[in-house]
Structures are given as C-alpha cells and as structure tokens.
C-alpha cells in the first residue's frame, strides 16, 4: 500500500508538471509579476477556506507561533522570489525541458545547504547521485539542442 506522504508528493509533482506545461504553452507571453498576482490572490482565500474547513470539522490546525512565525514569513518571501525567477525563466523565452530539467538539482542543493547549515556529511552514494543528476541535466539539454537544431530549417 502506498503511504500518504508518497501520494501527497506524487499529486504535487503531477500538478507542478501540469503548471509547467501551461506556463510554457499558454502563459509565457505575460509578465511574471502579472501572473503571480492572479496566483497569490487565489492562494490566500483557498488557504483561509481550508483552515475554516479544518476548524469546522474539528481537525487540529497548527499555526506557527512567534518563534517560528518569522521563519514562515521568510519562507513566504523566498517563495515569492523563487516564483518570480522560475516564472521569469518561461516569460523570458525558456523552454519546458530546459527549465524543468534543472529542478533535478533541487535535492542536491537542498542537501548541501542542510549539511552546511546544520552539519553532517555525505557518502559515496550521495556523490554518485550528484554526478548522475548533473549528467541527466547535461544529457537532456543536449538532446533538446539536437531536437531544436533538427526542427530548424
């Protein structure tokens, strides 16, 4: 049986993939900030409706207190900046495969940040994984260049 965490991650991945396709195919002609206004005005009411639903159904709602509230706000700012740059990659003419392929690097960068900030080390499996992820990015981008060159008369 598949656990809840796996289902959550898979649904998120599928929705992010759909968002990337729609960004490239339909929305890349708009400015990043213009798109973000639509999304953020949608997100806040949905979150509030979700919290209200949780309260009404007597589910526990855990909100950060003062100690972690600043971190939550900082992450909100990071989301904004990351969204701006990610969306700008599309609105500046970037293509789906080139942009999404780079997301393979997210786990690597996250682990390196965690190790640098909170300590720890990596082993040979990490290093091999890093090399394979980098190779995947290079190979997919090379494939995109070959496909693009073949389609240009």
pLDDT, average across residues 38-42: 95
The stretches of the chain forming alpha helices (DSSP H) are 4-22, 32-56, 66-91, 96-102, 106-118, 124-151
Q: Does the structure show a pLDDT above 90 at 149?
A: no
Q: Where are the domains of the chain?
A: 1-94, 95-153
Contact 89, 23 (CB under 8 A): no
Q: What is the mean pLDDT of the chain?
A: 89
Q: Specify the pLDDT at position 120.
A: 83
Both tokens assigned to 85: 């740059």
pLDDT in tens, 89-146: 999 998 887 788 777 788 888 888 998 999 888 889 988 988 888 888 888 878 877 7
Contact 132, 99 (CB under 8 A): no
Both tokens assigned to 108: 């690597």
d(CA 66, CA 68): 6
Q: 59, 82, 60, 63: which is closest to 71 by C-alpha? A: 63
pLDDT, average across residues 22-32: 95
Maximum Cα interatomic distance, the chain, rounded to a whole number of Å: 63
Q: Specify the pLDDT at position 153.
A: 53
d(CA 17, CA 7): 15
Rounded to a whole number of angstroms, the distance between the first and last alpha carbons of the chain is: 51
Buried-state track 84-99, b at ≥16 Cβ within 10 A, e below 16: eebbebbbeebebbeb
d(CA 151, CA 99): 20
């Amino acid at each position: 049986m598949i656990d809840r965490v796996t289902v959550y991650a898979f649904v998120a991945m599928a929705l992010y993939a759909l968002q990337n396709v729609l960004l490239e195919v339909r929305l890349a002609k708009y400015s990043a900030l213009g798109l973000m206004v639509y999304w953020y005005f949608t997100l806040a009411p949905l979150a509030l409706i979700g919290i209200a639903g949780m309260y009404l159904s007597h589910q526990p709602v855990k909100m950060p207190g003062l100690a972690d509230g600043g971190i939550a706000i900082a992450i909100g700012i990071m989301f904004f900046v990351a969204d701006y740059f990610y969306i700008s990659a599309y609105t500046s003419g970037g293509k789906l495969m080139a942009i999404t392929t780079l997301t393979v690097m997210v786990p690597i960068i996250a682990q390196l940040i965690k190790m640098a900030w909170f300590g720890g080390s990596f082993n040979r499996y990490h290093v091999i994984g890093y090399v394979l992820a980098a190779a995947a990015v290079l190979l997919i981008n090379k494939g995109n260049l070959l496909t693009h060159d073949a389609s240009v008369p």
